[in-house]
Amino acid sequence: MARETGLATAQLALAWLPGRDLVATALVGASRPGQLEASAGAVGIELPGDLVERVEKVLAPVVVRDSALTRSPARRP
């Protein structure tokens, strides 16, 4: 899917994140400057609705959407 849009895989993933329920932030890791530049290139990319639907379909079996399963643990004393 990334190749179809001319994006790096990381760019597609990062462009998909905004607007997803239960996603507050994305943590990006890089071991080379080029990886960081590619990830930064995802800023402002808006994916077409049909592509978002395709990504959602692929990820459906592994994405956790139950907020009860994603809450932060109780605060420590």
Domain range summary for the chain, segments of one domain joined by +:
2-69
Cβ distance 26 to 18 under 8 Å?
Answer: no
pTM recorded for the entire structure: 0.73
Instruction: Using the predicted structure, report yes or no on whether residue 76 has a pLDDT greater than 80.
Output: no
State the average pLDDT for the chain.
85
Instruction: Using the predicted structure, report yes or no on whether residue 21 has a pLDDT greater than 80.
Output: no
Q: Give the pLDDT band (50/70/90) at residue 54.
A: very high
pLDDT cut 70: percent of the chain above it? 92
Distance CA 1, CA 26 (A): 20
- More confident position, 69 or 37: 37
